[in-house]
Amino acid sequence: MAKTVITYGTFDMFHIGHLNLLKRLSEMGDQVIVAVSTDEFNEGKGKKTLIPYEQRAAIVESVKYVDKVIPEETWEQKLTDVKKYNIDIFAIGKDWEGKFDFLKDLCEVVYLERTSNISTTELKRSLTRFLSIPHKDLMKAFEALEMLRRDLE
C-alpha cells in the first residue's frame, strides 16, 4: 500500500541539509508532500527569510524527491493537512521532538536527525559576519590572493 509522507519547513537558503531531509522522506514513503512556510507565517513567528515564499516553494517543488508543495500558513493546519492528504507519516526535525505527538492517533510521527554542521541559521550568521567585514579589508584580501596566484603561475 502506498504511503504518503509530509513535512513542514521554511526552506530558506536551500542547502544540503534540506536535500538530505527530502531524500530521506522519499525513502520512507511513495509520495512526499512539503509544506513551505509562507512569508506571512514566518513573520508571525518572528522569523525573517531572505528568499520570498514563491521562490522557496519553486525550489522545493523542483527537487525530484518532492511530489507536492503546499503553503504552511498556520500552526493549526498540520492536523487538517494530515486528514486532508491521508498522511501516513508526519516527519520533522528532531529539534521538534514531542511537539507533534498529538498527531500519533492519525499517523506515524517521526523526528529525524538533522544533517550535522549545516543549518540555515548558521549560514545566515556566517553571511552576517562576512558582510560586516569592511569593504577595504575585503579588497586587500582579494588583492593579496591575486598576487599569490600570479606568483604561483
| Residues tagged active-site | 45, 47
Three-state secondary structure of 63-131: CCCCCEEEEECCCCHHHHHHHHCCCCEEEEEHHHCCCCHHHCCCCEEEEECCCCCCCHHHHHHHHHHHH
Q: What end-to-end distance do the CA atoms of the chain give, in Å? A: 61
Q: Give Cα separations from 76 to 14, 16, 65, 70 (angstroms).
A: 25, 28, 26, 14
Cα atoms found within 13 Å of the Cα of residue 150, Cβ hemisphere only:
6
